């Protein structure tokens, strides 16, 4: 206890003691106060969803005090004179009254709607961050599933919420809901007749949606949010790679006082943003849409954004309908309305388990991946995001056609093609970018960081100065974790027996999936760091100098010709290993440009115009173990153990 610690007033300490006598809480609460919260900007995304949900509960309770969930018809004679004398439901009338006759009612309605959008956006953003950093991996798979449950419930909750006012737009939404679900084989019509209490629209749906919207679904969301937080609390946070962060610890600031203050700050900021939106950006002006009547419709009818992919899928789908054993199977409704969203959720739910299966990685993960260090996962994620955005945009195809003056059908056709092409393209582009970023990291580890000073050497060559990476940077750059590769597809042992894990069609699929994630060695970047001479080993600070040293001695034809260049590989299926290129066995010279290190190329016939040197697979013997040696006529060079080449790789 330090001297300047706060003196706790006797009253507070008295109450604390009283409570502790009854609940034995001091120990537990102290642990809670000291609970460590790691810091990273992306960890705030989930918090946005949490605070938006709190704001939804607050404003929703207020709205429920005034809203009348009834489809009973009334004739309106209220403040909004443009609708005077019109027949409408009590639900719509009470929504108008909340907007025009209750002080703060409009503000609360708009905050509620904006908060719902913010809630869903934050869930998506949080989900994306969890996906890209691999935070769903063991032991957090259950929390990932709960998150998907929350996303689903959030979509339903939002749909029911914006359908409650019974305005023209939301009624059209319900009509579409009825139309989609009545297409489900066997049970569809029954399901809808039970939900709507008969034919569309009926009068039962509004009170039923109301009780689902204000009680059942929020209750489930609250329960799942609680479970989500408790599990996170129990398993402790993940953390980003940094110096001092290990799989066995969690580094950050304690809950009390830091996170309490930060959480408070963040809550107020989000609340302020939502109130500002509700004040200055009008949302869902139901009075402009008018009360629902079954035969009216307006163009540019879009649902809230989180239902947009359903709308987009419905619009994109060609007219497919088949007759199945005397029954109608309406594929043009079932595929976009149920199958696509079902695939999205199922694939998302299965992904952690698929990844575990494909990588064979059963270990615990508390340090997050940097997205670049998991190129396949990141590629898939970006592909799915593109796919989602295409569906979302197609959901507004009429607006796009109108605003950009493109024929409507053209927009739909573009989206139909893009639906298949863009995600695949995005996957490959993203994967390449990730690999390139990994090479950049590898470069930085082996060469250091360019510091922006160009130096001219006595021979006239310009080089850029580099500094070694700092410890903090190194911890991040070396954070890549790759589990050992599984046996390759069709790989057999010496007796021609395939590995147990790769047997059968499932095993082969697994091997292919594994290979896809961890490409074989021949595709990985190399960086030379040591030049091996008969007399000893010359350590080089960078690949450029290693190559330069090797080639200059070779060109000069001295007897000190190097036998090999030792390469440090920063490979995709093992953290770091070493391979050698026994250059002394080749007669041609080597020249390289210093900027081309990761893709050094050696060609059999060298000409001075060649800037690059290409390695082929044959250039590389198997990765060398600690006792490997290279023999050449006249002498043998023993290689140093592999480990030494990356303990201090770039520093001489």
The single residue among 157, 167, 182, 355 that binds other proteins, judged by CB under 8 A, is 182
d(CA 511, CA 506): 9
User: Per CB under 8 A, which of residues 477..516 are in contact with other proteins?
Assistant: 477
555 binds other proteins (CB under 8 A): no
The single residue among 16, 202, 207, 507 that binds other proteins, judged by CB under 8 A, is 202
The single residue among 15, 32, 247, 644 that binds other proteins, judged by CB under 8 A, is 247
The smaller minimum CB distance to other proteins, of residues 318 and 633, is found at 318
Closest listed residue to residue 123, CA positions, set 345, 283, 327, 290:
345
459 binds other proteins (CB under 8 A): no
416 binds other proteins (CB under 8 A): no
Q: Cβ 416 to other proteins, closest distance in Å?
A: 11
The single residue among 16, 149, 254, 534 that binds other proteins, judged by CB under 8 A, is 254
Binding mask 130-159 for other proteins (x = CB under 8 A): ---------x--------------------
Three-state SS for 341-385 is HHHHHHHHHHHHHHHHHHHCCCCCCCECCCHHHCHHHHHHHHHHH
The single residue among 7, 22, 24, 248 that binds other proteins, judged by CB under 8 A, is 248
Binding mask 46-85 for other proteins (x = CB under 8 A): ---------------------------x----xxxx----
In the block, which residue shows the tokens 């490979």? 571
469 binds other proteins (CB under 8 A): yes
342 binds other proteins (CB under 8 A): no
Residue 530 has which token pair? 């040591």
Contact 335, 317 (CB under 8 A): yes
Q: Cβ 188 to other proteins, closest distance in Å?
A: 6
Pairing of strands 577-581, 536-539: unpaired
Across the beta sheet with 526-533, the strand order is 536-539, 526-533, 564-569, 577-581
User: Per CB under 8 A, which of residues 280..309 are in contact with other proteins?
Assistant: 280, 293-301
| Cβ neighbour number for residue 302 with a 10 Å cutoff | 16
The smaller minimum CB distance to other proteins, of residues 37 and 533, is found at 37
Contact 452, 463 (CB under 8 A): no
User: Per CB under 8 A, which of residues 108..127 are in contact with other proteins?
Assistant: 110
- Per the DSSP assignment, residues forming a β-bridge with 568 are 527, 578
Q: What are the CB-based long-range contacts (under 8 Å, 24+) for 317-324?
A: 318/416, 324/185
Give, as one character, the DSSP assignment of residue 165. T
d(CA 134, CA 609): 45
The single residue among 4, 21, 405, 493 that binds other proteins, judged by CB under 8 A, is 4
d(CA 515, CA 487): 9
200 binds other proteins (CB under 8 A): yes
Segment contacting other proteins by CB under 8 A, of 190-198, 529-537, 610-618, 629-637? 190-198
Contact 554, 590 (CB under 8 A): yes
330 binds other proteins (CB under 8 A): yes
Segment contacting other proteins by CB under 8 A, of 200-208, 222-230, 416-424, 537-545? 200-208
The smaller minimum CB distance to other proteins, of residues 193 and 606, is found at 193
Give, as one character, the DSSP assignment of residue 335. I
């Amino acid at each position: 206890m330090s001297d300047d610690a706060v003196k706790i007033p006797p009253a507070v300490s008295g109450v604390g003691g009283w409570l502790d006598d009854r609940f034995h809480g001091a120990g537990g609460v102290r642990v809670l106060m000291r609970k460590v919260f790691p810091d990273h900007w992306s960890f705030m995304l989930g918090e946005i969803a949490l605070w938006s949900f709190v704001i939804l509960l607050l404003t929703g309770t207020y709205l429920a005090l005034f809203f009348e969930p009834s489809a009973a018809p009334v004739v309106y004679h209220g403040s909004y004179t443009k609708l005077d004398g019109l027949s409408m439901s009590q639900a719509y009338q009470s929504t108008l009254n909340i907007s025009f006759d209750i002080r703060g009612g409009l503000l609360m309605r708009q905050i509620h709607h904006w908060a719902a959008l913010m809630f869903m956006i934050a869930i998506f953003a949080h989900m994306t961050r969890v996906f890209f950093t691999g935070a769903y991996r063991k032991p957090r798979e259950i929390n990932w599933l709960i998150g998907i449950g929350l996303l689903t419930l959030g979509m339903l909750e939002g749909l029911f919420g914006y359908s409650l006012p019974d305005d023209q737009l939301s009624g059209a939404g319900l009509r579409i809901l009825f139309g989609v679900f009545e297409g489900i084989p066997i049970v569809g019509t029954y399901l809808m007749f039970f939900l709507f209490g008969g034919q569309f629209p009926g009068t039962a749906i509004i009170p039923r949606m109301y009780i689902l919207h204000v009680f059942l679904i929020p209750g489930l969301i609250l329960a799942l949010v609680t479970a989500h937080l408790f599990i996170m609390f129990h398993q402790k946070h993940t953390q980003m790679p940094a110096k001092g962060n290990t799989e066995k610890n969690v580094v950050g600031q304690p809950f009390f006082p830091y996170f309490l203050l930060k959480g408070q700050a963040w809550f107020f900021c989000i609340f302020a943003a939502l109130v500002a939106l509700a004040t200055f950006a009008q949302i869902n002006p139901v009075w402009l849409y008018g009360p629902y009547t079954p035969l009216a419709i307006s163009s540019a009818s879009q649902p809230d954004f989180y239902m947009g992919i359903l709308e987009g899928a419905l619009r994109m789908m060609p007219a497919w309908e088949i007759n199945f054993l005397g029954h109608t199977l309406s594929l043009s409704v079932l595929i976009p309305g149920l199958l696509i969203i079902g695939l999205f959720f199922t694939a998302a739910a299965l992904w952690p388990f698929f990844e575990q299966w494909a990588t064979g990685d059963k270990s615990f993960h508390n340090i997050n991946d940097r997205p670049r260090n998991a190129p396949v996962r990141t590629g898939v994620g970006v592909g799915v995001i593109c796919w989602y955005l295409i569906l979302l945009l197609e959901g507004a195809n009429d607006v796009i056609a109108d605003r950009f003056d493109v024929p409507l059908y053209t927009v739909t056709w573009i989206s139909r093609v893009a639906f298949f092409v863009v995600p695949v393209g995005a996957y490959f582009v993203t994967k390449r970018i990730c690999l390139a970023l990994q090479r950049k990291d590898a470069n930085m580890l082996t060469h250091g960081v360019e510091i922006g000073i160009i130096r001219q050497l006595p021979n006239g060559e310009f080089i850029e100065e580099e500094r070694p990476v700092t410890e903090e940077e190194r911890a991040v750059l070396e954070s890549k974790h790759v589990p050992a590769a599984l046996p390759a597809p069709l790989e057999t042992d010496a007796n021609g027996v395939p590995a147990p894990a790769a047997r059968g069609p499932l095993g082969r699929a697994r091997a292919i999936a594994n290979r896809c994630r961890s490409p074989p060695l021949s595709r990985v970047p190399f960086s030379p760091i040591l030049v091996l001479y008969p007399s000893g080993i010359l350590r080089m600070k960078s690949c450029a100098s290693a190559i330069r040293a090797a080639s200059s001695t070779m060109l000069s034809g001295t007897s000190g010709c190097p036998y090999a260049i030792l390469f440090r590989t920063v490979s995709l299926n093992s953290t770091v290993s070493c391979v050698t290129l026994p250059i002394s066995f080749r007669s041609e010279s080597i020249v390289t440009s210093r900027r081309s290190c990761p893709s050094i190329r050696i060609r059999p016939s060298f000409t001075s115009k060649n800037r690059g040197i290409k390695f082929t697979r044959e250039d590389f013997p198997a990765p060398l173990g600690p006792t490997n040696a290279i023999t050449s006529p006249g002498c043998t060079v023993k290689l140093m153990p592999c480990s030494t080449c990356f303990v201090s790789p770039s520093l001489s």
